[in-house]
Chain A
Amino acid sequence: MKEREIRRAQPWLGTLVDIAARGVEADQAVTEAFRIIALVHRLMSYHEPDSDVTRINREGTLEPVAVHPWTWQVLARARALSEASGGLFDITVAPTLTRLGYLPRHPDLPRCSGQGDWRHVELLPGHRVRLTRRLRIDLGGIAKGFAVDRAVAVLEAHRVREGQVNAGGDLRVFGKRPQAVHLRHPAHPTRLVPVAMARTAAVATSAGYFAGRRMRGRRVSPHVDPRTREALPPMRSVTVFAPECVTADALTKVVLLDPDHAQSVLDRFGAEAVVLEYRESSQGWQLRTGARHA
């Protein structure tokens, strides 16, 4: 059978998902990978009225909610990342994102108490979830990475030799041929900065550039500091290389909030970070690598 090279893109998870594959079953592989991405979207969307996330937000304080094993798996990973980062990664900042206009209002959901955080999302046996405070969860900071990981697993199961899955910056590449990985310049989003050549990599970037908006005269980003529940100004771009995209995606938020102290968390998950930051005091945009090369 002849080898095929396929590249397609569809809108899912609030972004464009781009999948490329080379292999004899590339056609079916890409179609199947999009089916999996669509499933993650349906399970973990904050917007969909019947997603697991919406059901947890609606009923989680009343009784344990049974969810798909994948949703449970993402919640468990989110919890591990919250624990390791001392709460810098937190899936319960949704009310702030709603206030800033990044997430829709759900008037039919129970009111939030404003008291809860990630510790109040209880994971019970049998893939059940309970909220012990009136709060809202949002997997926007981790589900895209998970979707990319699952899609790559599908491609590999279909004997794809070389592939790429990119969900708005959560990116995985694999294959024999090294591929260049680029970042967007935070101040000039259409300008690209090459950061690495990789045969196999799981990468995620968080920055305010495309999503940045103004709120009462201040520029804000969709990145909320769980300590203050305020949005960060969009002056920093963080890229994390990790063994899996789900981890890389979540860790970008940890580094974004505290680049100077994130190293131990990165080490724990076998990750590395690249920070691009605007410094008023020096000569403008600077880049810092967390890699320990001199």
Chain B
Amino acid sequence: MSHTSAWLILSAACCVAAPAIAVQYLTAEAAQKLLFPEATAFAPRTVRLTPTQKQWVEAQAGVRMRYSEQPVWQALADGKPVGWFVLDEVYGKHEFITYAVALDPTGAVRGIEILDYRETHGGQIVNPKWRAQFEGKRFGAPLRLDHDIQNISGATLSCKHIAEGVRRVLALHEVALK
């Protein structure tokens, strides 16, 4: 079977400054409601670790802690504690993620929601020849490059940093919320 394959040069230099990927999924309040639908109140319980506690958390989790303060809320259902809502941030080589971890009263993970996802640099690569090839051909609609970047195939961003972050949150629970 024969088919023509068209090779196109795609120079990375022809990158036009376009907005980098940034998605705001949820506000902290919306995440609280999703993770603790039964809760009637969220009491702020910001954790401030002593240098010794911070060291202990880092040793337990095997990751560095940037700050000694961690925003935490206690979820309450009619005054009864139903768990912890911990806000956290992680940084990767290219990305910056804000997320929330819900812990039940025993300290087990109940759920995780991403609040904010941002990539540094980047944007769309625009190459007129490249565009021309697809226009009207593949799925019957021309490319609109001004459109929000929503659908990225090949976004195999590792969740390693989130996994590390959750380990850190669990260690923090152990030392400060038990």
Contacts and interface: CB of A to CB of B under 8 A. Distances in A.
- Do these two chains interact? yes
Interface of A: 7-11, 14-16, 18, 20, 31, 164, 166, 168-171, 173, 178-185, 187-199, 201, 203-207, 209-211, 237, 239, 263-264, 267, 276, 282-294
Closest 4 CB pairs of A and B: A190-B122, A205-B154, A9-B114, A178-B141
A169 B144 contact: no
A184 B153 CA distance: 7
Contact of A191 (B5, B124, B155): B124
A286 B129 CA distance: 12
B158 A14 contact: yes
Interface stretch (B10-18, B74-82, B170-178): B10-18
**Which secondary structure dominates where chain A touches chain B?**
strand
Interface residues of B, number: 58
B154 A292 contact: no
Given A10-B114, A168-B156, A239-B153, A197 B138 contact: yes
Contact of A183 (B131, B142, B150, B154): B154
Interface string B96-121: 00000000000000011110010111
A199 B139 contact: yes
B14 to A, nearest CB: 10
Given A192-B125, A199-B139, A289 B5 contact: yes
B71 to A, nearest CB: 20
Interface string B139-152: 10111110101111
B6 A194 contact: no
Contacts of A206: 154, 156
Contact of B151 (A180, A185, A193, A293): A180
Interface stretch (B19-27, B42-50, B53-61): B19-27
Nearest to B147: A180
B124 A204 contact: no
Contacts of B40: none
Contacts of B149: 180, 182, 192
B156 A209 contact: yes
A8 B94 contact: no
